[in-house]
Structure 1
Amino acid sequence: MVDLSAKPFTLDATAIAWVHSTIATLTADEKIGQLFINLNTSFAPEYLDTVLDRYHVGGMRYMGSDSRTVQDHIRHVQSRSKVPLLIASNPEMGGFGSIDDGTLVSTHLQAGSHPDRSIARDMGRISGVETSALGCNWAFAPIVDIHYNWRNTVISTRAFGNTPEIVIERAKEYFDGLTESNMAAAMKHFPGDGIDERDQHVVTSYNTLSVDDWNASYGRVYRELIDYGVQSVMVGHIGAPELSRKFRPGITDAEIMPATLAPELLQGLLRGELGFNGLILTDASMMVGMTQAMPRRDAVPAAVAAGCDMFLFFRDPAEDFEYMRQGIRSGVITPERLQEALERILGLKASLGLHTTPREHLVPEPAALAVIGSPAHHAVAAAIADKTVTLVKDTAGTLPLRPETHRRIRLYGVSGAADFTGTDPNSFLQIARDELEQAGFEVHVFKDAAQRKAEGEENVYFHTVMSEEANGGYADKYDAAIMFANVAGFAQEASVRIRWSTPMASEIPWYVTEVPTVFVSLNQPNHLIDVPMVKTVVHAHNPSREAIHAAVQKIIGASEFQGTFNDNVWCDTWGTRL
């Protein structure tokens, strides 16, 4: 039996009685349903009713939309569910990413790129305020990975930094800000991302640290945050060979599983050695890091048997529900393991007061949505951008660039694939142009062959673009060049790098010897591996208007650079510091 009076639940006798009595009223199928978190791919009432009536889920997450649509659908499902639902969101940067009109406050790395620790608290606070206004009560954040490997791009901007100290300090601040609202946190991705360069969305990745090194880094992070009261842990599809060998002596290499399927890591390490009493959930179960490890029919119950209390997302609801049912019937999931999972699921709900809140009050009134994307929240984002936009290097003394001396700007834009938010990865370029023109520059935007063809131009190829762009008259046409890069996206490649528009593309900074050149990253911190020739590099962290405005103001010398960076920016490569 779970000690629900202990951290992180700290329930009183009445709440504990509600947990046990509610479990006793559940049918066998309703108990199975509590183990699942559905991804709501539709907001249609008939779809939502089917999920609730047929699968009795314990929690939900949703695809992005506008705040009113999201709030309305949460209101509907909470009014229809037998047991109040855990409603999760992914507020890793503020409200942005959870709803289309949410505020992009800061990335995790950005919140770790200035001595002011309150940046992380503000990010957590606004995350909590904006998502709780929707009716959410559970945040899949903070991210407590440590970005040791500069080649890892899945958590490069999503980790607070490359040391356990900065991760612990800023994760606590985020948690304190988040929980000013009635929210539970799920720290992720146990046993820790940031060692392997690969992305668990597309392949199982591994934390290959020794036991001692893991305890001094990731283990230290988890111990401190467990003691701090974080309510849940999201487990990554990340293997940890040395840890598995410690807690399961004699295990073969072929038997080493991602942590979501490894009882030695969940029960031996996380529950046992680290003493975590809260709720454990899997990361998204469609990730290849999990699906390649064993057949789905085995993996679904195996995750719960290993120690996960909740299973994140159906692949096929009918199939997955039946796989879990068969796992219970066959004894893969014992009655004791099922009972423990249910106690923690309902215990988390009770710790949020969901059991005593009238159904009509589980979701705020529509008027509460006014805080989402509010001027006050955007003002916080602007202040954070001013503090965190970082000058990585200016070895040629290029800055400041001013309209009086460098009026004609050649503007380049480089982007990656769209991410899960569905945001246009190229929208930043118009913002950059606007900000430069408002600063007094004459801006000339470069267009590659594909862009020119899309606009109706004929007989244009990358060779013709190259001959037009890369010639001796470049410095006669332009006084300086600025490239903005928004290379985002994950879950499609194991690691993300700059991909130029064509072979030997004309936007590659060949022109560094012709005119002063500035490179501005709006996302990844590792671009010097691909543009070491650029002598002036700025990291603005994100593609919001606030961040781009702050970057331009600092480039022209209107405000000082205040941001800090860690050595990952140099990519462990000769020549990047020049």
Structure 2
Amino acid sequence: MNKIHLPSKDQVTLFQKVGQLFMPAVFINDTEEEVQKMEQLIANYNIGSLCFFHSRASAATNFEGKKQIVYNEKSYGRLVELIARYQKAAKIPLLIAIDAEWGLAMRIENTPQYPYAITLGALQNGEDLIYQIGKSIGRDCLSAGIHWNLAPVVDINSNPENPVIGYRSFGDDKQKVFTKAKAFIGGMSDAGILNSIKHFPGHGDTATDSHLGLPVIDKSLEELQNNELYPFQELIQKGVDSVMVGHLLLPQLDSEGPSTTSNKIITGLLRNQMGFDGVIISDALNMHAVSKTFPEKGTLEAKSFSAGMDVLCFSENIKEGIDIILHQETEDRIEESFHRIWKLKEKAFSNTNKSDELDWETASKINQQVAQNCLTERFGSPELLEEIQTSNFLNVAITNSKTNLFSKGLEEAFGHPVLNTSSDREIFRLKHDETETVVLAIFPPAVKPKDRFGFEDGVLKTIKYLFKTKKVLLYLFGNPYVLDILEIQPKTNVVLIYQDFPEFQQVALQHFTGKISATGSLPIKLKTF
């Protein structure tokens, strides 16, 4: 990673300073025409930063799922190429940002993926591992030319119906969210990568997806301070680079509009009461929670800036936003935000750490360690494991086309063929009456709760039927909130694996054969248990 040099701060004009406020989205799979348009935008309007996404189909505007996401195995190389092109087009070097909550793999194929925050939340005293993950993700970011990881999520996920945070949160305990986020940030900082805690003032207790609508958090300031605001306040006191403000309506704090445009929340609460003097960045301004409320181009950007925002993420109306801000705001107000952004750039560009390639070996080792320490048992009948091991159990799998090393391992070790409920339905019916015991491996189709995590009606009926009629030992390789839609019976035994990585499947097999014990703890509350 080549060292980047900033020009003299005194040489930056007022027009250029306003351009520095804007962080448009850029897409790895854009066409050459779209890339050239962005190069012109960067050059003409002195853009300050960019946020990379995989493609327009995968970005926030497509959360309705109407556009098909195309797989691109060369995404990483394309990312490196585009960063170089966009930096060349910039008169003032750009800060390059990305959402890499669980690694570059959140946006880019064929890059190391680390566990979701909910998996890390299951670790007991796992801060050392989480620190290593933050550091490794930071190094992977550096290898591509990225300076700013818009992570971690410090929302306290207290609502099981939450459609957008869920697995991205460390859990529902404020102290554990704080300590785990602190470890993650520590690792990133030691790698030389900027951080951003999100989504202020707390997106965990809502059942609305802010990509599609405006969530309402109807709580008093005292209630927020006792829970949602706790990790933000503690981390601010420890020192963070930036805070991302989410799109939320908090009527007890400001009934006139969302937090994105609220002076009371951004300046009054975050800046003045909580004492944060770093960069405040918006969540994506194209998200429907706010974009539909401000149809006139540039007004959302101007209103957010007026409320106290420094960086306007995923702005789609840069020219108009610049014009309104220059017309409406004082030079002193513009200088305040520019100074914070410039300070962030000086920090990022002074980093002498270098990373020339992705660290696949470290990722695999860390994933193995996390897998060994996150497994969580929820046993209704603890003696069942030994009973099943010595029985003629059905080896049933619901894989949804995912590689299933676990069930194959059971077949090799115990001689029970894998029965996939979708492809082996007839065999499954024939063998169903042969035994009372079942080892059921479930690989959910999706990690998000939309449309029941992607399960088909027939598959859900089969799962529920097994729970009602058999002694089932369930290994769940995915989001633990899936359990709330499966109608688990009181005596059902569940082992939560959280991820479907090969390392996690191998550890699950070791658990079944008694070689390791489950030491993890469920970091959230379920309706089921």
2:444 match: 486
- Give the letter for the 2:432 counterpart: Y
**Among 108, 130, 133, which residue is 1:120 paired with?**
130
1:526 match: 481
1:369 match: 357
1:397 match: 383
Distance 2:160 2:166 in 1: 7
CA contact (8 A) 1:36 1:57 kept: yes
CA contact (8 A) 1:396 1:536 kept: yes
Q: Bigger shift: 274-283 or 541-550?
A: 541-550
- Give the letter for the 1:228 counterpart: K
The 1:276–1:401 alpha-carbon spacing in structure 2 relative to 1, beyond 3 Å, is: farther
1:292-441 aligned within 5 A? 292-297=292-297, 298-315=299-316, 320-331=317-328, 333-352=329-348, 354=349, 368-371=356-359, 374-395=360-381, 397-400=383-386, 405-406=391-392, 408-413=394-399, 426-441=400-415
Q: What SS class does the counterpart of residue 179 from structure 1 fall into?
A: helix
The 1:198–1:23 alpha-carbon spacing in structure 2 relative to 1, beyond 3 Å, is: farther
1:162 match: 172
Q: What is the Cα deviation at residue 404 of structure 1?
A: 5.6
Distance 1:469 1:327 in 2: 68
Distance 1:472 1:370 in 2: 48
2:94 match: 85
TM-score by length of 2: 0.85
1:10 match: none
Distance 1:192 1:103 in 2: 29
2:433 match: 475
Once the two structures are superposed, what CA deviation does each residue of 1:25-72 show, in whole Å capped at 9, x if it has no partner? 3362x3333222122223846355234223432111223453333223
The 1:345–1:376 alpha-carbon spacing in structure 2 relative to 1, beyond 3 Å, is: same
Q: What is the Cα deviation at residue 435 of structure 1?
A: 4.3
The 1:47–1:515 alpha-carbon spacing in structure 2 relative to 1, beyond 3 Å, is: same
Distance 1:406 1:469 in 2: 15
Q: What SS class does the counterpart of residue 208 from structure 2 fall into?
A: coil
Distance 1:435 1:69 in 2: 37
Q: Is 2:35 the partner of 1:26?
A: no
Gaps of 5+ in 2: 55-73
Question: Aligned residues: percent identity?
Answer: 22
CA contact (8 A) 1:283 1:312 kept: yes
1:41-80 aligned within 5 A? 41=27, 42=30, 44=32, 46-64=36-54, 66-80=75-89
1:100 match: 109
- Give the letter for the 2:173 counterpart: T
Q: Bigger shift: 475-484 or 286-295?
A: 475-484
1:174 match: 184
Q: What SS class does the counterpart of residue 115 from structure 1 fall into?
A: coil
CA contact (8 A) 1:410 1:445 kept: yes
- Give the letter for the 1:444 counterpart: V
CA contact (8 A) 2:43 2:91 kept: no
1:442 match: 416
TM-score by length of 1: 0.79
1:258 match: 258
CA contact (8 A) 1:156 1:525 kept: no
CA contact (8 A) 1:148 1:194 kept: yes
Q: Is 2:284 the partner of 1:284?
A: yes
CA contact (8 A) 1:484 1:521 kept: yes
**Among 150, 158, 161, which residue is 1:151 paired with?**
161
1:201-212 aligned within 5 A? 201-212=211-222
Aligned length: 498
Q: What SS class does the counterpart of residue 295 from structure 1 fall into?
A: coil
Distance 1:522 1:118 in 2: 24
- Give the letter for the 1:39 counterpart: A
Q: What SS class does the counterpart of residue 203 from structure 2 fall into?
A: coil
CA contact (8 A) 2:173 2:523 kept: no
2:66 match: none
CA contact (8 A) 2:446 2:453 kept: no
- Give the letter for the 2:269 counterpart: L
Distance 1:446 1:47 in 2: 49
CA contact (8 A) 1:43 1:73 kept: no
1:516 match: 471
CA contact (8 A) 2:18 2:326 kept: no
Distance 1:329 1:282 in 2: 19
Q: What is the Cα deviation at residue 526 of structure 1?
A: 2.2
The 1:504–1:87 alpha-carbon spacing in structure 2 relative to 1, beyond 3 Å, is: closer
CA contact (8 A) 1:411 1:483 kept: yes
Distance 1:471 1:439 in 2: 23
Once the two structures are superposed, what CA deviation does each residue of 1:142-181 show, in whole Å capped at 9, x if it has no partner? 1111111122142221111212111111111111111111
The 1:512–1:300 alpha-carbon spacing in structure 2 relative to 1, beyond 3 Å, is: same
Distance 1:122 1:565 in 2: 22
The 1:76–1:433 alpha-carbon spacing in structure 2 relative to 1, beyond 3 Å, is: farther
The 1:161–1:335 alpha-carbon spacing in structure 2 relative to 1, beyond 3 Å, is: same
The 1:99–1:434 alpha-carbon spacing in structure 2 relative to 1, beyond 3 Å, is: farther
